């Protein structure tokens, strides 16, 4: 979902947003620095398999997933990190690793770290390693309807 498609979706749903371009960056911390966004406000998307089903976990750049807590929070038997090979074809219009956290548009569950709800806004990759979009969290939550979980820990 390149930037234009995502912008169209946001526009159709009456969401106010800001787009940001930055020099190429690939890790969440690099992106936060390049875009001058606090790491706690940059939402990174991590692909996981929950009992074999692909899902997104969205968390601040400053945190990482606690897989045992995620397993307990979702009430499943098995949670693991998905390999790029396993999900690359699900996001044909996105650069690998730059997927926006809109799993609802890709027919997958989305789990959001509770700590992201503390900030009024979040920023996230918009399909490329040089583009971010910032929205109000309440708008993101309204569109995506994620499960809010406490399954992260500081890096």
The domains located in the chain, with CATH, are 3-151 (3.90.960.10)
pTM of the model: 0.91
pLDDT of residue 138: 96
For residue range 6-17, list pLDDT tens digits in order: 889 999 999 999
For residue range 76-120, list pLDDT tens digits in order: 999 999 999 999 899 888 998 899 999 998 899 999 999 999 889
Region 127-133 average pLDDT? 92
In angstroms, the CA 87 to CA 142 distance is: 25
In angstroms, the CA 51 to CA 102 distance is: 20
In angstroms, the CA 103 to CA 127 distance is: 13
Q: Is the pLDDT of residue 150 over 50?
A: yes
Region 47-51 average pLDDT? 96
What is the DSSP-derived secondary structure letter of residue 43? E
- For residue 19, what pLDDT band results from cuts at 50, 70 and 90? very high
Residue with tokens 């690099």: 30
Contact between 26 and 33 under an 8 Å Cβ cutoff? The reply is no
pLDDT of residue 1: 47
């Amino acid at each position: 979902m390149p930037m234009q498609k995502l912008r169209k979706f946001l526009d159709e749903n009456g969401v106010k947003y800001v787009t940001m371009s930055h020099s190429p960056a690939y890790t969440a911390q690099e992106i936060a620095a390049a875009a001058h966004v606090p790491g706690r406000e940059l939402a990174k998307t991590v692909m996981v398999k929950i009992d074999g089903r692909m899902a997104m976990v969205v968390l601040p750049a400053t945190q990482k997933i606690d897989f045992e807590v995620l397993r307990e929070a979702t009430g499943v038997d098995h949670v693991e990190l998905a390999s790029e090979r396993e999900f690359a074809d699900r996001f044909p219009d996105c650069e690998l690793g730059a997927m926006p956290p809109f799993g609802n548009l890709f027919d997958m569950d989305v789990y959001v770290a509770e700590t992201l709800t503390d900030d009024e806004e979040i920023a996230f990759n918009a399909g490329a390693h040089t583009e971010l979009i910032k929205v109000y969290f309440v708008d993101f939550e309204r569109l995506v309807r994620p499960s809010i979980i406490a399954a992260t820990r500081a890096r």
